[in-house]
Amino acid sequence: MINSSCTKHLLHKSQNGFTLIEIMIAVLILATALVVMLGLEQSNIVRTINDQNRKVALSLARKVMAAIDLEQITINIDEEKESKIIDFFNQNNIEYDNDDKKNYDKFSIVLKASSPTIAGIEQDNIIKLIELKILWGESYKEQLSIVRYTEHI
């Protein structure tokens, strides 16, 4: 016959479960994993937004360069134009979709023309250097720069 103290001991030994320490370690591991995953997700969101802004800036730069080719925009050597992109489009009668206006609000443009110096060649302003910057933030990562040489007429 088994006495009652022995029975209590056997019941205590056979109980399965987790200790408080084991639960705290599991929660700590899960919390660490969640923090890492949220950090990765945030960097993906930032990268996606930057890629979308770069795509819009490239589209705007193409419109500006096409307008220069079609002579809708005239820029003389040693001239610089700087403004918000919407104001620039309105001043130069460049068409854009009104639905895109809210996307264009944060973009600005710097358009500059100069005469490049080529060592040993006197060119009399035959070639015009056009520098175009589309900006949407303060960082150098938040700008698109295009440099193009054209014939000056």
Query: Where do the structural domains in the chain lie, given as residue ranges?
Result: 18-151
pLDDT of residue 9: 54
First to last CA, the chain: 115
- Spacing of C-alpha 106 from chain mean position: 12
What are the tens digits of pLDDT across the range 10-38? 555 556 778 889 999 999 999 999 999 88
**C-alpha angle 117/143/107, rounded to 5°?**
115
Tokens 């320490």, residue located: 21
pLDDT of residue 2: 53
Burial string for 10-39 (b: 16+ CB within 10 Å, else e) reads eeeeeeeeeeeeeeeeeeeeeeeeeeeeee
- Our CA dihedral for 96, 101, 104, 105, rounded to 10 degrees, sits at 140
Residues of the chain with pLDDT under 70: 1-15, 119-125, 152-153
What are the tens digits of pLDDT across the range 114-123? 888 776 666 6
Question: Is the pTM value of this prediction over 0.75?
Answer: no
pLDDT of residue 109: 95
